[in-house]
Amino acid sequence: MQNTPPGATPPTPPAPRGHVLVVDDDPTVAEVVEGYLVRAGHTVDRAADGTAALDRAAARWPDLVVLDLMLPGMDGFEVCGLLRRRGPVPVVMLTARGDEDDRILGLEVGADDYVTKPFSPRELVLRVEAVLRRGRTAHISGPDRAPLAAAGLSVEPAARRAAKNGRELALTLREFDLLAFFLRHPGRAFGREELMREVWGWDFGDLSTVTVHVRRLRGKVEDDPARPCLIQTVWGVGYRFDAGAADGQGHPTEAGS
């Protein structure tokens, strides 16, 4: 342990990396998750049910929510939806269920990722930090943050704002990142593994996460989501953004140019 010399200014402790709200009615799970997040440098608040979670979030809006699916009273799906109505917040959902439909439903109500119990606390921390990192890098300046426009779509990465034909789109954190990535790489086909690595920042994970987000994004940007023209499926590969589908151009441009 180092001592501060007389008259010297004590070193400033590092700022917390993020404020995380952990919502789980199992105190053992909540305590383990909190311990790992605190050791990783995050501040943590806890709630054991949906009502308490909404109260905690109102008192101090979190940077991210770790949310159990199975809660007493209102379940995680409802809590996630109510949080989303109050404001944008990344959500990593915890589920003990093995049913893929439940995991997909969690993604469809706005969760950015899910982790199935029993889980590795270290893996959970990595996923939490990947989501936080993606949200924060959105505010960094640089060529990748320049506004984009293509096919009637406009994206302002620095402001986290997207619109279609002048009408603002209500996108989740990951939907926004996915749309911005597609606009930056028109005409190129990407596999789901590539999209997970480039957009989510993960080298592991359930690829259905990508599939669900593409489907949700199509529902918001396509004129007819059942017959997508902008985000096209490339069979055997993945997906491709066709910038010329609506505006006759083969590339996006900087907004206003």
Domain ranges for the chain: 19-137, 143-254
Dist CA 185 CA 148 (whole Å)? 11
State the Cα–Cα distance between residues 20 and 138, nearest whole angstrom: 19
Q: Which amino acid is at 52?
A: A
Of 195, 81, 177, 191, whose CA–CA distance to 131 is shortest?
177
pTM above 0.95, yes or no: no
How deeply is 228 buried, as exposed, middle or buried, from its count of CB atoms within 10 A (0-12, 13-18, 19+)?
Answer: buried
pLDDT per residue as tens, the chain (257 positions): 444 455 544 444 444 578 999 999 999 999 999 999 999 999 999 999 999 999 999 999 999 999 998 898 899 889 998 988 888 788 998 887 656 666 667 776 777 777 888 888 888 898 888 888 766 655 444 555 678 888 889 998 888 889 999 999 988 778 888 999 999 999 999 999 999 888 877 766 678 888 888 998 999 999 999 999 999 999 999 999 998 765 444 444 434 33
Q: Does domain 143-254 have CATH number 2.60.40.1120?
A: no
Has domain 19-137 been given CATH number 3.30.465.10? no
Contacts of 163 (CB under 8 A, 6+ apart): 153, 154, 169
Topology alike, domains 19-137 and 143-254: no
DSSP 237: T
Q: Which two tokens stand for residue 241?
A: 């953004």
**CA pseudo-torsion sign 115, 116, 117, 121:** negative
Give the largest Cα separation in the chain, rounded: 72
Peptide bond into 10 cis (omega under 30): no
One-letter amino acid identity for 71? L
pLDDT tens digit string along 125-161? 988 888 887 666 554 445 556 788 888 899 988 888 8
